[in-house]
């Protein structure tokens, strides 16, 4: 299990400073290298689904299986993802999470 930057024990990011998914995949690859994992099963939950899908696409030789649970392309509503949440509610939640 890997927590992305800004989650768990790492320093929090302001919402506008969240790293792009490509950076998160690079972090994941570094963790896999460190633990010498060459045959990996990824479980991507919620927004972690984007990271898992991109990692599997970028490293098909290293990702044996991909399991997705409730993946979403965006946490907020967009024209292509209208069932996402309200942007202000999401920013309020991020601000709350950064303090806790």
Model pLDDT for residues 31-75, shown as the tens digit of each residue? 999 999 989 999 998 878 888 999 999 999 999 999 999 887 777
Q: Return all residues near 27 (Cβ < 8 A) that are at least 6 apart.
A: 2, 4, 5
User: Could you tell me the residue ranges of all domains in the chain?
Assistant: 15-99
**pTM greater than the 0.85 cutoff:** no
**Residue 94 pLDDT exceeds 80:** no
Phi-psi region of 61 (alpha: psi -120 to 50; beta: other; left: phi over 0): alpha
Q: What is the CATH number of domain 15-99?
A: 3.40.50.1820
């Amino acid at each position: 299990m890997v927590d992305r930057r800004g989650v768990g024990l790492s320093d929090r990011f302001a919402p506008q400073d969240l790293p792009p998914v490509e950076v998160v995949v690079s972090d994941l690859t570094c963790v896999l290298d460190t633990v010498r994992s060459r045959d990996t099963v990824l479980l991507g939950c919620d927004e972690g689904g984007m990271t898992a899908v991109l990692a599997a696409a970028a490293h098909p030789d290293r990702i044996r299986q991909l399991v997705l649970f409730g993946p979403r392309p965006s946490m907020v509503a967009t024209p292509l993802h209208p069932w996402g949440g309200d942007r202000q509610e999401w920013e309020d939640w991020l601000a709350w999470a950064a303090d806790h």
